[in-house]
Amino acid sequence: MSLAVPSSLLKVEEIQGRGRGMVASQPLKAGQIVLRDSPILLYSALPLVRQSLWSSSSASATCFCDHCFRTLPPSSQGDSSSSSVLCPSCCHHCFCSSNCLSKALNSSHSSWVCQALSHLRAHSLLLEQPLERQVQANFLIAAYNLANISPSNFQIILSLQGSPDDATIVAAQFLHPLISSFCSLALISPHNGFSLELTSALLSKDKLNAFGIMQPFSVDDDQRSVRAYGIYPYASFFNHDCLPNACRFDYVDTNPPDGSHNTDFIIRMIHDVPQGREICLSYFPVNENYSSRQKRLIEDYGFTCNCDRCNVESNWSDNDSVEDNAEDGEEVMDEDQYETMAASDTDNNPCDDNNDFPHAYFFLKYMCDQKNCWGTLAPLPPQGDTPSNVMECNVCGKLKSGDDFDIDKEQDEIPMED
Ligand SMILES: C[S@@+](CC[C@H](N)C(=O)[O-])C[C@H]1O[C@@H](n2cnc3c(N)ncnc32)[C@H](O)[C@@H]1O
């Protein structure tokens, strides 16, 4: 199954050694929106058993609507004036409004899902498993349900990249018999021939393609967690680069304009790129150091990154590697370390790709300096042909004037690539 990208700005191309990727079909401008994408599947990243919303002990827990994943206001928990509603059958899953509940009962929280999750919550062997295994169970229930309510979207998931590896086979060997023993998979979709192999395949698609929808940003939280995962059919075609030229924005806790959903993604260009250039996202915050990035990419995505930044950092001697500049045991650099390294390199020549830290420019211009944020900045969309001078952070939402960074505008296209 091949999907036509719903944007004249991008096309999907086969790229040697990287599978499919998204390529600019015309010159693209900083801030330009190149893709809007809606999830075909969303599932919770929280443990199967959560504290009751209505118990006083839950006051400090952050809760999210189990359909649209908006944050539920803590003040409304247990408050009869709150618009939040529990599923009348399981009294466990909570929804931000009766409207969301009624949509969920016909889709994400069908009676089959409700019963399947109730069974899983009663299964002590599963509850003893690490969070990752419980979240995989959430995914499988959501995916099997999708096969019933939208067979075409289920086929799209199966068409994404990913084949079972040892870890997904082990997970499938644990979860498949457990779920099929009491969730009557044949009943929900008799045509799909649910099997251990299909379960392994689904888990492998999820591993390579699911996007995390993060919990709300807080300056006091240096370990931001995921609230939900989503499969976004078009955004799944973006390959990774450790110095991306586009980044993803979501506005989950806001009320989107008519016709869009709060869980939609918007992919915006960070800087100008010419026609034919591959458009890449970073699969995680850009501040991670070389060895931590390589470890994540091989373990989670099955490839070794040889982007320009990795090629430079792999040649750093032990004495000037980022990780040796960071404190012992830390896998990321802090703000001061970046600023010191970036400033010393840009003092000489901000865009000279012959120096040993050519991506200093990227960190100074496009990395958010808010404490504990590590988001990426992209300009607001241009107005007609006029580029915006306002940068928006894709994590904390902070707006910053592009003038805060005063390198000559002509250098806006990062010179490292090609
Ligand atoms: C979300 S998918 C991206 C689209 C994928 N290339 C496809 O054909 O559908 C993630 C997978 O793409 C491949 N990939 C992404 N970035 C890559 C890169 N920089 N180098 C090599 N492979 C990459 C890896 O196989 C990774 O697991």
Question: Do residues 35 and 211 touch, judged by C-beta distance below 8 A?
Answer: no
Question: For residue 300, which atom of ligand 1 is closest to its CA?
Answer: 27
In the DSSP assignment, the letter for residue 302 is S
Say yes or no to pLDDT of 418 above 80: no
**Residues 6+ away with beta carbon under 8 Å from 382:** 29, 30, 31, 32, 388
Determine the angle formed by the axes of helices 166-182 and 196-209, rounding to 10 degrees.
120
Give the per-residue pLDDT at 282: 98
Cα 28 to ligand 1 centroid, rounded to whole Å: 22
Residue of the CA atom closest to atom 20 of ligand 1? 18
In the DSSP assignment, the letter for residue 58 is G
Give the per-residue pLDDT at 82: 74
Q: Is 303 in the pocket of ligand 1 (CB under 6 A)?
A: yes
Amino acid at 336: D
Rounded to the nearest 5°, which phi and psi values hold at 14?
-80, 125
Residue of the CA atom closest to atom 27 of ligand 1? 301
Q: Mean pLDDT, to the nearest integer, of 47-58?
A: 61
Give the per-residue pLDDT at 325: 41
Question: For residue 160, which atom of ligand 1 is closest to its CA?
Answer: 9
Least confident interval from 74-88, 112-126, 144-158, 347-361: 347-361
Cα 109 to ligand 1 centroid, rounded to whole Å: 31
Distance, in Å, from the CA atom of 205 to the CA atom of 201, rounded to the nearest integer, reads 6
Tokens at 195, concatenated:
């099997």
Q: Mean pLDDT, to the nearest integer, of 137-148?
A: 96
Q: Which of 37, 240, 298 to mutate to test the pocket of ligand 1 (most atoms within 8 A of CB)?
A: 240
Give the per-residue pLDDT at 118: 94
* CB-neighbour burial class of residue 153 (10 A; exposed 0-12, middle 13-18, buried 19+): middle
Give the per-residue pLDDT at 297: 98
Distance, in Å, from the CA atom of 89 to the CA atom of 111, rounded to the nearest integer, reads 8
Local confidence band at 411 (pLDDT 50, 70, 90 cut-offs): very low
Ordered by where they begin, the domains of the chain are 10-38+232-412 (2.170.270.10), 47-54+62-209 (no CATH)
Give the per-residue pLDDT at 265: 97
Say yes or no to pLDDT of 75 above 60: no
Q: Mean pLDDT, to the nearest integer, of 10-16?
A: 97
Q: Is 159 in the pocket of ligand 1 (CB under 6 A)?
A: no
The angle subtended at Cα 77 by Cα 100 and Cα 89, nearest 5°, is: 50
Local confidence band at 324 (pLDDT 50, 70, 90 cut-offs): very low
Distance, in Å, from the CA atom of 360 to the CA atom of 195, rounded to the nearest integer, reads 50
Note the residue count of the chain: 418
Say yes or no to pLDDT of 415 above 50: no
Give the per-residue pLDDT at 53: 45
Of the candidates 245, 233, 311, the residue with the CA atom closest to the CA atom of residue 280? 245
Q: Is 13 in the pocket of ligand 1 (CB under 6 A)?
A: no
Q: Mean pLDDT, to the nearest integer, of 50-67?
A: 64
Distance, in Å, from the CA atom of 377 to the CA atom of 288, rounded to the nearest integer, reads 16
The whole model's pTM is what? 0.88
Q: Is 302 in the pocket of ligand 1 (CB under 6 A)?
A: yes
Question: For residue 161, which atom of ligand 1 is closest to its CA?
Answer: 9
Cα 278 to ligand 1 centroid, rounded to whole Å: 12
Tokens at 339, concatenated:
């600023």
Q: What is the DSSP string of 132-154?
A: HHHHHHHHHHHHHHHHHH-HHHH
Q: Mean pLDDT, to the nearest integer, of 342-357?
A: 51
Q: Mean pLDDT, to the nearest integer, of 100-129?
A: 95
Give the per-residue pLDDT at 367: 95
Q: Which of 5, 18, 265, 278 to mutate to test the pocket of ligand 1 (most atoms within 8 A of CB)?
A: 18
Question: pLDDT above 70 covers what percent of the chain?
Answer: 79
Q: Is 296 in the pocket of ligand 1 (CB under 6 A)?
A: no
Say yes or no to pLDDT of 60 above 50: no
pLDDT in tens, 242-279: 999 999 999 999 988 777 899 999 999 999 999 999 99
Of the candidates 327, 331, 335, 241, the residue with the CA atom closest to the CA atom of residue 290? 331
Least confident interval from 84-98, 130-144, 172-186: 172-186
**Kind of pairing between the strands at 278-281 and 265-269:** unpaired
Cα 17 to ligand 1 centroid, rounded to whole Å: 9
Question: Do residues 37 and 195 touch, judged by C-beta distance below 8 A?
Answer: no
Give the per-residue pLDDT at 332: 54
Locus of tokens 């929808």: 213
Q: Is 70 in the pocket of ligand 1 (CB under 6 A)?
A: no
